Amino acid sequence: MLDVDLHFSRGDFQLQVQHRFDPGVTGICGPSGSGKSSLLALIAGLLVPQQGRITFDGRCWVDTARGCFLPPHQRRIGLVFQDGQLFPHLSVHANLHYALRWLPAAQRRVAPDAVIDLLELRPLLQRRPDQLSGGERQRVALGRALLMSPQLLLLDEPLSALDARLKAQILPFLQRVRDQMHLPMLYVSHAPQEIAALTTQVLAIADGRLAPAIAADA
Ligand SMILES: Nc1ncnc2c1ncn2[C@@H]1O[C@H](COP(=O)(O)OP(=O)(O)OP(=O)(O)O)[C@@H](O)[C@H]1O
């Protein structure tokens, strides 16, 4: 699984994290500016630590002492952000299949039809993103991330732009992904009900330091 032992600083902000993540869904909560997105960006390879190591299943992703740095596209990570960042000019079908262009056939472990059915995207395939609700757009973003056949899924407040009704609609889809895809996930959220509904362990981050949270609904 994912092992992180790193130090990262940017201006006055310092992130110091040493943690072995469990398989399953790990919730990460903490106040604004505490370092949640920075931690995900470091794991994804979008930021580089000044010092430390990240390994996944024993493979080096970063090791500053050894000069090892695996670029983001070679880490096979699925990323979902608050705003799904779909290509506005492409249909849902084309957005989903865009992911596959860059993935060598030998690395494809997820069948597009299986993801489309899991997330109930079939009726939406010909629409463009501006013809979707916010919740539907996030389902497509999740589908696109899954089609990359990721070995790790990072979700950074994926529901925070949605109102309560849309959140309630999309939570069951995230639970399906959790229960059927058997992918380790890190799930950043401010919302205790999302954390409680989805995660198998919860970590709290404060001032760039990570610690087990007292309770999932705290
Ligand atoms: N691009 C940037 N340049 C400089 N400093 C940044 C940048 N992005 C974030 N920071 C700073 O890094 C620190 C950690 O930010 P980060 O976005 O990781 O926090 P967060 O916990 O994800 O916050 P939020 O919940 O508001 O998204 C903060 O002090 C923030 O001001």
| Backbone dihedral region for residue 107 (phi beyond 0: left; psi -120 to 50: alpha; all else: beta) | alpha
Compute, in angstroms, the gap from residue 15 CA to the centroid of ligand 1. 11
Compute, in angstroms, the gap from residue 29 CA to the centroid of ligand 1. 14
Compute, in angstroms, the gap from residue 27 CA to the centroid of ligand 1. 18
To test ligand 1's pocket by mutation, which of 8, 12, 32, 48 has the most ligand atoms within 8 angstroms of CB? 32
pLDDT value for 217: 47
Span 9-60, pLDDT tens digits: 999 999 999 999 999 999 999 999 999 999 999 999 999 999 999 999 999 9
pLDDT band with cut points at 50, 70 and 90 for residue 215: low
Tokens of 103: 């993935």
* 0.90 exceeded by pTM: yes
Cα end-to-end span (Å), the chain: 26
Quote the CA–CA distance of 167 and 197 in Å, as a whole number: 12
SS3 27: strand
> What is the average pLDDT across 179-206?
92
In the CATH scheme, what is the code of domain 2-212?
3.40.50.300
Surface-to-core class of residue 88, CB atoms within 10 Å of its CB (0-12 exposed, 13-18 middle, 19+ buried): exposed
Closest CA to 70 of 93, 53, 87: 53
> What is the average pLDDT across 70-83?
92
Q: Whose CA is nearest to atom 16 of ligand 1?
A: 35
Give the percent of the chain with pLDDT over 70. 98
Ligand 1 first shell, C-beta below 6 A: 10-11, 13, 30, 32-38
Span 133-148, pLDDT tens digits: 999 999 999 999 999 8
Compute, in angstroms, the gap from residue 34 CA to the centroid of ligand 1. 7
pLDDT value for 56: 97
Quote the CA–CA distance of 128 and 116 in Å, as a whole number: 16
